[in-house]
Amino acid sequence: MEQQPIVARCIVEILGAPKEYIAKALMDHVDKIKKDGLDIQIEKYAEPVASDKLFTQFVELQISFKDTGELLDFCFDSMPSTVEIMSPEKLELDMAFFEDFVNDLQAKLHQTDMMLKGLQAQKQVLDKNAVNILHNFIKFVCHTEPHSLEDLSRLLGIKVEELTPFVEHLVTKGALKKEDNVYVTNG
């Protein structure tokens, strides 16, 4: 079954820093899309916009896809934020193609889920190690001489209210003790 081309307007966005980097990265991505053989009919770049310490920029692309497979591949690879199908008004899908699409989608979702679970496990290990380093540093500093919470805050560059639970945990564990308004190692 021969399929007519699908014309779609797509928005591809990028977030990052510095501003020059994201502008170049977005243009490089569009160049890669062109090299992959997609028929980009229109491309309109928005100016980068500051968003906290990062920048965001988008490009609006009008692309003619030879078939639904090419459109879906583009969506998987470029992750556009929006896709507006301009033509045709109706599509007829072969069931075998649709089945392949659903299986590909499931495989990509499974791969993404596994990657997220792996990153989450790595984050937990890093968080635990960071807390251990912070605890060890607090114990080391308080072993050399007594320090108030404000002293520890200045030394560590952590606000008093954010540091307090860590110091209190060490007191509860018996690694530190509070004498008057300062903390010392216990032992």
Q: What is the pLDDT of residues 79-88, one digit of tens each?
A: 999 999 999 9
Position 137 confidence tier, pLDDT thresholds 50, 70, 90: very high
Does residue 93 fall inside a structural domain? no
CA 21 to chain centre: 17
Looking at the structure of the chain, the number of domains it has is 2
pLDDT of residue 32: 96
For residue 57, the cross-strand partners are: 14
Q: Which domain holds residue 75?
A: 6-87
Does residue 62 fall inside a structural domain? yes
140 and 79 together in one domain: no
Mean local confidence (pLDDT), 100-124: 91
142 vs 106, 150, 154, CA distance in Å?
53, 13, 14
Does residue 117 fall inside a structural domain? no
Does residue 29 fall inside a structural domain? yes
pTM over 0.85: no
Nearest alpha carbon to residue 31 among 61, 6, 10: 61
